[in-house]
Every structure is written in structure tokens, then in C-alpha cells.
Amino acid sequence: MAQLLLGQTLSFTANPWHAPIADAVNHERRGAVLVENGYIRAVGNADDLRAKHPDAKVTDHGDSLIMAGFIDAHAHYSQTAIIASWGKRLIDWLNTYTFPEETRFADREYADQVAKTYLDLNLSNGITTACAYCTIHPESVDAYFEAAQKRGLRMLGGKVMMDRNAPDELRDTAQSGYDDSKALLRKWHNVDRLSYVITPRFAPTSTETQLEATGALWAEFPDCLMQTHLSEQAEEIAWVQDLFPDQQDYLAVYEHFGLTGPGAVLGHSIYLSDREWDAVKASGSSLAHCPTSNAFIGSGLFNAKRAHEMHIPTGLATDIGGGSSFSMLRTMASAYEIGQLRGDALHPAQLLWMATQGSADALLVGNKIGNLVVGREGDIVVINLASTPVIEQRVARAENFWEVVFPTIMLGDDRAIEAVYVNGQPVG
Ligand code: GUN
Ligand code: ZN
């Protein structure tokens, strides 16, 4: 049966990084969204749509804001339990907290339990799609996709490949990494709403042989995404230079092995040279901005303005558990703060874009999800714009719509998430 959701609605008519905000955003004060058979069928004025669809089941969300569900372009579901681990920079953080935790995913029951917790936390924060790293264990991928499938979610992810510079229990080989990834890809890719993502962790944890096998696998299955990390921290970049002395820079390693191009999702990408920026753009690769992680692990300030000026598809990402929050509101706030530290004041519309359509474009699903427009899948978040006393008192002073929205971006969390719809169905 058709459902009509009433509230304020927000849709993008253009990219607010490239068009004036007033031309890029369609805001209806008394709006409505018609959802049927999992798809958005109409978006418009509440009175108009009520008159046109008198038989639809009406859910009135009052003054709350209805928009596309949030999309997390880069996360590690396997790091859910070690979020907020103290005191380390990237390499020590991986060795001290991350790798020991990831060894636990050899146990299928543990993987099932964390996958469930991870998806529950995502949904309570309005995240309806994520692109996740699992661990090297094929079981961790089965646990992730089975849990996502049960919830009807559009989710992306894949088995991490590492054949050096990681503990014994966390290493595959070039051959087994290739074979296991291929078997998982055949098992899960394009099943229901699931997509397999080829996942070499990052250059330091793969031998040249493994990177070569990974490039060959992607060439065999070019409609899959490929995700990895790039230029996150100074020590990491120096390490890559030592490990690959023949390559001129970090990105050149991935280029050499055929690991750039449309569908390559490069996490962090903070310290790119002019050559690397140009090569990312020329290749058609995507970037994932991980602001809470970049602050928490002490990595640095990603240049979101430059990425958008260059028209590079760029998503917003929690990077759980290097990232310090499951909230995409908090993640947008962190992106805003990092913009300020660079001298760039990102507009709330630009932040919301990155968290929805920007991430969808970066993951090559921008025609399926990411915007509240006719024909998209019914993944929707409903946001209470006065969810706490501090937000409420600030909103009382607001003089326009953006002054109503911005306090929730800066101060909101899961308490602001009033409802979530997945494939047109209310969650929980
Ligand atoms: N680089 C390689 N692996 C990781 C990881 O798990 N998290 C982050 N933030 N960076 C990485
Ligand atoms: Zn990451």
C-alpha cells in the first residue's frame, strides 16, 4: 500500500557545491513524500499529494525534516567495539587496538553479533547505506551481508586483503586473498541490495604480488567497487615510500597495479600532491572524507573544497572505529570544523549533500539512493530539528531554514533521528 509521509522535505535539484544554494535545494515547509513498493513515487506539497492520493496511509511527522537516508562512504564494521580507543596515531592504533580486535572475526558467532550491533547503530543514526571493510576472514563478510540482507538494506563491503605487515592470523596470501575475494564476490555481488567491494586494506599491508592479483581481480569484475586507504598520515606516507621506492608517490602505487579509476573509493586522501590530485581527477576515482577519524587519530585536514572544485566525487564517512562517532550529524559537524580550520566555511546544504548524494555518487549508486526524488529507493531519514534543549533554544532564534537546520548538524546526535525508512518500510 502507498504511504504518504508528511513533514518538511528537503531535496537537491543541483549540487550545492556548484550551484547557488537557493537553486540547489528544494525545501517544502509542508511537504510530503509518497512511497510505494520500496520506491519514492512523488515528492511535493502536502495538500496537493493528499488530494491526489486519498487512499495512501498517512504518517504525519509534523515539523520534522524528511530527507534521503545518510550514506557512510567508508567504515570498518569490524571496529565497532574499539571505537574511542585512546592515545595512538595510525600505525600504533592499528597494531594496538585494531589488529587484535580483527583477529576475533575468525569466530563466526562474534562476527554475527558485531554485524548486528553495527547495523543497529547505523540505523539509529539514520545511516541507511554504508560501504564497509570487513576483516580478512570470509566469515566476517558472510556475517555482514547476511545481517544487511535480513534488514533489506543497500550495503556495500568486502573482505580485507593483507599479506604482510600484519599479525600471522590476519594475513592471507596473494592467491588466497584473490580466491576468497572472488568466491565472496560471486556469492554476494548484486544479491538483493548488496554489492561486493574489492578491499586491499592499504599499500603497506599488501605485497606487490597481492596488489597485482587485486588489480587482476578488479579487471575481471569491473562493475565492483574497489576501496582502500590513501595518504592518511605522514608516517604512513613515508612507510609507503620505503616499501615502494620505484613509485613517485603514494597514489602511483595504486595506479601501477590498476587500482584507480571509476569505482575506486580512496579513503582519507589528506596529503595529496598536485600530481596526485590531478591523477585522482583524471582517473575518475572517488574520495571519502573521514573528518572525525582524521581529527581523532590526529591525521590532518582533508581539502573538501578542492575536491569539489575539481568535481571529484566525494563522500562523507564515519570511518568507524578510527572515526569517533556513528552519527552522520556529528560527522558533518566535524567536516564543518575541519573546513573552518582550513578557512572554508562549508554551507549546511554542502554538508548534507556530502552525507547523502555525494556519498551515493562516490559509491556509484547516485541514481538509486541519496536524494528525495521520484524513482529513488525509499531509504529515508526523518530528523527532529529541536531534539534537545540546547538545539531548541537556538532554533527559537532562527531567521531562516538554514538557521533551523545548522544547530542540529552541529549539536545533534541519534536523539534527533525520529524515524528511518528502509526500502519504504519503517525501521523498528
Ligand atoms: N589504514 C589502514 N587501515 C586502516 C584502518 O583500519 N583505519 C584507518 N583509519 N586507517 C587505516
Ligand atoms: Zn578506514
Read off the CATH number of the domain in which 226 is found. 3.20.20.140
CB 28 less than 6 A from any atom of ligand 1: no
Among 315, 334, 362, the domain boundary falls at 362
| Rounded distance between C-alpha atoms, residue 341 and residue 334, angstroms | 10
Note whether 377 and 358 are same-domain residues: no
The confidence score (pLDDT) of residue 384 equals 98
Neighbours of 214 (CB within 10 A): 25
pLDDT per residue over 28-47, tens digit each?
A: 999 999 999 999 999 999 99
Which residues have CB under 8 Å from 230's CB, separation 6+? 202, 250, 251, 254, 266, 267, 268, 269, 272
Q: Predicted confidence band at 428 (pLDDT cuts at 50, 70, 90)?
A: confident
pLDDT at 1 over 90: no
pLDDT per residue over 163-200, tens digit each?
A: 999 999 999 999 999 999 999 999 999 999 999 999 99
For the whole model, what pTM was predicted? 0.99
Mean pLDDT across the stretch 111-139?
Answer: 98
| Rounded distance between C-alpha atoms, residue 168 and residue 348, angstroms | 45
Note whether 296 and 342 are same-domain residues: yes
Burial class (CB in 10 A: 0-12, 13-18, 19+), 48: middle
Asked if 156 and 130 touch (Cβ cutoff 8 Å), the reply is yes
pLDDT per residue over 373-394, tens digit each?
A: 999 999 999 999 999 999 999 9
Provide the grid cell at 208.
606487490
Average confidence score pLDDT of the chain: 98
**Ligand 2 ion local residues (Cβ < 5 A):** 267, 319
Note whether 257 and 377 are same-domain residues: no
Among 362, 385, 407, the domain boundary falls at 362
In order of 32, 42, 62, 267, 300, the CA distances from 55 in angstroms are: 14, 14, 20, 46, 53
Mean pLDDT across the stretch 285-313?
Answer: 98
The confidence score (pLDDT) of residue 267 equals 98
Asked if 286 and 363 touch (Cβ cutoff 8 Å), the reply is yes
| Rounded distance between C-alpha atoms, residue 211 and residue 260, angstroms | 12
Note whether 349 and 383 are same-domain residues: no
- What kind and span of H or E run contains 307? helix 304-309
Residue 73 CA to ligand 2 centre (angstroms)? 10
CA atoms within 13 Å, Cβ hemisphere of 81? 17
Note whether 134 and 193 are same-domain residues: yes
Give me the domain span that covers residue 184: 70-362
Percent of the chain residues topping a pLDDT of 70: 100
CB 293 less than 6 A from any atom of ligand 1: yes
The confidence score (pLDDT) of residue 162 equals 98
CB 74 less than 6 A from any atom of ligand 1: no
Note whether 54 and 195 are same-domain residues: no
Q: Cα angle vertex 294, ends 289, 299, to 5°?
A: 125
CA atoms within 13 Å, Cβ hemisphere of 245? 1
| Rounded distance between C-alpha atoms, residue 80 and residue 101, angstroms | 10
Which residues have CB under 8 Å from 258's CB, separation 6+? 215, 216, 218, 219
Of 108, 106, 132, nearest in space to 194 by CA: 132
pLDDT per residue over 395-421, tens digit each?
A: 999 999 999 999 999 999 999 999 999
Domain count across the chain: 2
Residue 199 CA to ligand 1 centre (angstroms)? 12
CB 201 less than 6 A from any atom of ligand 1: yes
pLDDT per residue over 195-240, tens digit each?
A: 999 999 999 999 999 999 999 999 999 999 999 999 999 999 999 9
Atom 7 (ligand 1): residue with closest C-alpha? 322
Note whether 353 and 398 are same-domain residues: no
Atom 9 (ligand 1): residue with closest C-alpha? 322
Q: What is the DSSP letter of 385?
A: T
Provide the grid cell at 256.
601501477
